[in-house]
């Protein structure tokens, strides 16, 4: 190859050399290698190829919730050795260290191309994409890290080895089963032989007979750079300090009967169980790769099969979309599929028709209120009339939840269009005979009114008309604070109700009452961060959402009426965040880090923007169970121990908090325990109210770039 040709070719080859290996599940970065380059181009793509995106950046609805909507334009089939002038004999050092183009095949998926790198010390990074293989609309790739021996020898041969895991966290999918696989790993080994100064042949043979051999040719393309071709960025980050021995001894004695339960027996003698250190997973690996290559599923150090590809697809669907694209997906889907005929939030059964497509939620009053708030924020940011209409639809449903019951101090948890049999629902009467309502109003559902009415008022207060909605919000709050004991508790619930009423009416009596309540609640609300609790893996997970909303509502009212309490409420936000340090709950830290009285943005802000990047869209339920992974360990402490039912079964928790795309989806992610580790494969989808509230909060207060 002449020097001019080499100068043109090597930058392109080395540019796509920075893309292709993936983290072994459950492993952590050692920090021994320099940080990797951004993996922005698929090594299996033509370097001159372009990624096609929709002109408006939106996500299109597809027939299958996991169908690929990311298209890669002009997909090449990788760095063939005949794509450039072949290096001549003697044109590079004979030791193995260097960067290589690879071309290979296996009996399962066919031909593939990609890149490999061998660094001093024998570390190997190997990155491939199959030429024509696909999985449910996506292309298929694989990345592994391994070891080479004798890499400094002039002529070889070079023994190489790597290992692929056979299971991670999904037990079954479409007839394929991972639970109980033995062995749990496949070890590959090869004696790589040099066929010329610039080419090496490798045949990686497995130690499990059902797995294929990978046969490939490596062609040298350049020296290694200062940064590795790829590195695993997965980290397990401690969530608290080590537990003092005396404290741990007391806790273990308290939970002695819990530790005797059969479900904990596989774990009680493990060192990590005895250490009782809880970890959160941070794994940005392949974020840049999926933004550039949305239609490729690149399996990380795993046997590429249906289940590992489904698990990989969860990462792909989280990372390939910008926050704005996820927002567009959920803002489109919510009014189409996740609001029932009464306007209340539900889950959605694809393929069914109303009312069967609506899976009701007993907590819908709260989640509908959060949805109303999200659309109010959306309208305040964008002035989009669709957002305004969505807000009104949910608000009218919440108003009906009060009117349909017809009893002072009572309201419905949710409502639906009338169905038979009732099965615990109550049919409305008179003008509401076409609807059913669910009894059981409580504290949590009350917060749905507080959240929705506060944000809706901030939109409607300057709108001409809508007097009926404004009057009804005032009447409902006034009725509940008078007749519903939870709302008139002389504590923070009543404080919030009277603050909202004053904001709406400017009634001085409401202000006098809330000022007295504020002073009585100030220690709890401000000094104690509204009661935030986090201690060695234990917290009130659903309560945390209410805690941060319980700070946000007074903050918004104080800001609106200029009552002089705003700086104190900012202190409450900061202290609440500090009490929940390292829990990485998403919305909680996003609000606290944004509105707390910090001189500069705390690290929790960026950490929890990453949580939004991890957020899946859509939410799809699979047969999750992290206990099938060999690294899994149960926590020695039960979830929600104050329920005092942990000796009766359940309340189990993991020692590790997994990323959102490795966790069971939920109707509202911000209220679930981050230590959940299992869930069934249900056929319905959950709504995206949680993402929308977090996104539009971030846009309202200027901390979210839509293209994140």
According to CATH, what is the number of the domain 3-222? 2.40.128.120
Q: In 3D, which of 476, 466, 345, 467 has the Cα closest to residue 406?
A: 476
Residue 232 binned pLDDT confidence (cut-offs 50, 70, 90) = confident
pLDDT at 77: 33
Res. 8: pLDDT tops 50: no
Contact 188, 209 (CB under 8 A): no
pLDDT at 646: 86
Pick the CATH number of 325-616+689-700 from 2.20.180, 1.10.3470, 2.40.160, 1.50.10: 1.50.10
Mean pLDDT computed over 596-617: 96
Mean pLDDT computed over 3-32: 34
Phi, psi (rounded to 5 degrees) for 12: -65, -45
What letters, b where the CB count within 10 A reaches 16 and e where it falls short, cover 416-454?
Answer: bebeeeeeebeebeeebeebbbbeebeebbbbbbbbbbb
Q: Provide the residue ranges of all domains of the chain, joining segments of one domain with +.
A: 3-222, 325-616+689-700
Residue 45 binned pLDDT confidence (cut-offs 50, 70, 90) = very low
Phi, psi (rounded to 5 degrees) for 78: 100, 180
Res. 617: pLDDT tops 80: yes
Mean pLDDT computed over 44-65: 33
pTM: 0.87
Res. 46: pLDDT tops 60: no
Higher pLDDT, 185 or 33: 185
Residue 87 binned pLDDT confidence (cut-offs 50, 70, 90) = low
Residue 92 binned pLDDT confidence (cut-offs 50, 70, 90) = low
pLDDT at 70: 32
CA–CA gap between residue 413 and residue 436 (Å, rounded): 11
CA–CA gap between residue 234 and residue 438 (Å, rounded): 44
For the chain, helix (H) and strand (E) counts, in that order, are: 18, 21
Res. 113: pLDDT tops 50: yes
């Amino acid at each position: 190859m002449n020097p001019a040709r080499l100068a043109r070719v090597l930058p392109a080859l080395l540019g796509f050399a920075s893309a292709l290996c993936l983290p072994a599940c459950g492993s952590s970065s050692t920090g021994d290698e320099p940080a990797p380059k951004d993996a922005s181009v698929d090594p299996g793509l033509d370097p001159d190829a372009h990624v096609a995106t929709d002109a408006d950046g939106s996500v299109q609805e597809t027939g299958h919730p996991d169908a690929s909507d990311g298209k890669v334009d002009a997909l090449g089939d990788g760095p063939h050795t005949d794509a450039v002038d072949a290096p001549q004999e003697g044109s590079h050092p004979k030791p193995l260290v260097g960067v290589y183009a690879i071309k290979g095949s296996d009996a399962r998926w066919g031909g593939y191309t990609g890149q490999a790198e061998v660094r001093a010390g024998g570390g190997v990074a190997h990155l491939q994409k199959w030429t024509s293989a696909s999985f449910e609309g996506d292309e298929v790739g694989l990345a592994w890290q391994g070891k080479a021996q004798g890499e400094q020898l002039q002529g070889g041969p070079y023994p190489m080895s790597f290992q692929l895991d056979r299971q991670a966290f999904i037990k079954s999918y479409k007839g394929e089963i991972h639970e109980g696989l033995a062995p749990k790993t496949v070890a590959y080994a090869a004696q790589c032989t040099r066929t010329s100064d610039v080419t090496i042949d490798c045949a990686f043979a497995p130690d499990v007979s059902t797995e294929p051999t990978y046969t490939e040719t490596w062609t040298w393309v350049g020296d290694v750079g200062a940064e590795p071709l790829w590195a695993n960025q997965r980290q397990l980050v401690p969530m608290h300090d080590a537990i003092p021995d005396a404290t741990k001894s007391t806790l273990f004695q308290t939970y002695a009967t819990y530790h005797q339960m059969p479900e904990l027996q596989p774990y009680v003698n493990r060192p990590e169980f005895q250490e009782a250190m809880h970890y959160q997973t941070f794994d940005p690996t392949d974020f840049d790769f999926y933004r550039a290559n949305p239609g490729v599923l690149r399996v990380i150090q795993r046997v590429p099969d249906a289940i590992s590809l489904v698990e990989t697809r969860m990462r792909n669907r989280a990372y390939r979309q910008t926050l704005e694209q996820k927002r567009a997906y959920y803002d489109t889907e919510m009014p189409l599929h996740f609001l029932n005929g009464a306007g209340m939030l539900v889950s959605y059964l694809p393929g069914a028709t109303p009312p069967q497509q609506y899976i009701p939620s007993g907590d819908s009053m709260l989640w509908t209120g959060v949805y109303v708030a999200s659309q109010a924020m959306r309208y305040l940011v964008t002035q989009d009339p669709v957002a305004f209409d969505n807000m009104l639809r949910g608000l009218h449903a919440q108003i009906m939840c009060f009117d349909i019951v017809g009893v002072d101090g009572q309201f419905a948890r949710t409502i639906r269009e009338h169905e038979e049999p009732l099965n615990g629902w109550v049919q409305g009467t008179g003008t509401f005979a076409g609807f059913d309502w669910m009894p059981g109003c409580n504290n949590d559902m009350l917060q749905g009114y507080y959240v929705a009415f506060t944000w809706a008022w901030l939109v409607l207060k300057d709108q001409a008309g809508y007097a009926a909605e404004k009057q009804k919000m005032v009447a409902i709050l006034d009725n509940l604070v008078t007749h519903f004991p939870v709302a008139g508790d002389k504590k923070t619930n009543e404080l919030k109700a009277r603050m909202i009423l004053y904001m709406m009416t400017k009634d001085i009596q409401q202000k006098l009452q809330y000022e007295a309540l504020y002073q009585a609640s100030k220690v709890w609300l401000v000094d104690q961060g509204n009661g935030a609790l986090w201690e060695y893996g234990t917290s009130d997970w659903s309560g945390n959402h209410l805690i941060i909303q319980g700070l946000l509502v007074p903050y918004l009212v104080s800001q609106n009426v200029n009552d002089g309490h705003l700086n104190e409420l900012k202190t409450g936000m900061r202290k609440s965040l500090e009490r929940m340090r390292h829990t990485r709950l998403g919305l909680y830290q996003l609000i606290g880090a944004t509105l707390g009285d910090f001189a500069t943005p705390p690290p929790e802000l960026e950490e929890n923007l990453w949580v939004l990047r991890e957020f899946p869209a859509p939410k799809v339920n699979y047969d999750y169970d992290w206990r099938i992974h060999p690294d899994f360990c149960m926590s020695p402490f039960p979830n929600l121990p104050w329920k005092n039912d942990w000796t009766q079964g359940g309340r189990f928790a993991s020692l590790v908090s997994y990323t959102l795309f490795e966790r069971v989806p939920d109707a509202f992610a911000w209220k679930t325990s981050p230590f959940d580790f299992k869930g069934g494969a249900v056929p319905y989808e959950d709504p995206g109210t949680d993402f929308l509230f977090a996104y539009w909060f971030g846009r309202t207060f200027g901390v979210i770039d839509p293209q994140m």
